[in-house]
């Protein structure tokens, strides 16, 4: 099973705005969207095995400090789940951005949280902001700024799509991110949009803060 993941620009932009707001911290959040179990097209070169198509339509920012502490994390995951059901969509993944520019892996804390999400939705993925690609993204030389990680289940843990490290077979899942995000993001950042994004962490410090950010992007 090699799922195909599509990331809408709204989700991509919110992930980047969240990371941009807290450049010296790791940040994380949850991905909302839907899963369509597609079947192979007749006559297509692919085998007729069913290939789920996951569409990620929104990203809900959760934390920028102490990402792994349970009480806040559990409250956030529960409430996002309720929100998703209200909206008629599902929690389809987890996103993370590492605090160190040279850290390009999905670390143990991220994997642990991604595990919880994947336990409830077998098609859930993890998107890691690719710190190495940030430079060329902001210079608008490349559209590519996310790493896709999936978990094939069983004893094998999370692996990066499109070839992992060490020659092991990376996951065969595919990621299609919305085009044209780079200039949009740079425009938003220029006018300070990232300072108006608020996560669940902010909400816990001030209940009047809206962590859904429905109209931000």
- Count of residues near other proteins by CB under 8 A: 29
- Distance (Å, whole) CA 197 – CA 191: 13
41 is a site residue for other proteins (CB under 8 A): no
Residue from 57, 55, 52 nearest 3 by CA: 52
What tokens were used for 1?
């099973």
- Distance (Å, whole) CA 5 – CA 2: 10
Build a one-symbol-per-residue string for 198-217: x at contacts with other proteins by CB under 8 A, - elsewhere: -----xxx-xx-xxx-----
Cα angle: 86, vertex 125, 94; to 5 degrees: 60
Binding-site member from 42, 45, 47, 70 for other proteins (CB under 8 A): 70
134 is a site residue for other proteins (CB under 8 A): no
Binding-site member from 36, 37, 50, 69 for other proteins (CB under 8 A): 69
Build a one-symbol-per-residue string for 103-122: x at contacts with other proteins by CB under 8 A, - elsewhere: x----xx--x----------
Residue from 47, 56, 73, 67 nearest 107 by CA: 67
What is the binding site for other proteins (CB under 8 A)? 23-24, 66, 68-72, 74-75, 78-79, 82-83, 86, 100, 102-103, 108-109, 112, 203-205, 207-208, 210-212
């Amino acid at each position: 099973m090699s799922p195909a993941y599509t990331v809408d620009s709204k989700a991509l932009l919110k992930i980047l705005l969240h990371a941009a707001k807290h450049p010296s911290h790791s940040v994380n959040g949850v991905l909302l969207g839907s899963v369509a179990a597609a079947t192979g097209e007749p006559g297509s070169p692919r085998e007729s095995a069913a290939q789920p198509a996951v569409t990620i339509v929104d990203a809900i920012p959760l934390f920028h400090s102490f990402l792994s502490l349970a009480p806040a994390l559990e409250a956030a995951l529960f409430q996002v789940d309720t929100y998703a059901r209200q909206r008629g969509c599902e929690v389809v993944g987890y996103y993370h951005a590492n605090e160190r520019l040279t850290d390009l892996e999905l670390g143990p804390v991220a994997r642990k949280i991604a595990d919880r999400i994947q336990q409830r939705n077998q098609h859930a993925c993890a998107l890691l902001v690719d710190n190495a690609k940030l430079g060329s993204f902001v210079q608008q030389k490349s559209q590519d700024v996310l790493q896709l990680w999936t978990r094939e289940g069983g004893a094998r843990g999370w692996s990066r799509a499109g070839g992992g490290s060490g020659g092991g077979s990376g996951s065969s899942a595919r990621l299609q991110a919305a085009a044209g995000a780079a200039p949009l993001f740079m425009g938003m950042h220029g006018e300070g949009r990232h300072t108006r994004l608020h996560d669940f962490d902010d909400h816990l410090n001030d209940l009047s803060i809206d962590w859904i950010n429905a109209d931000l992007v």
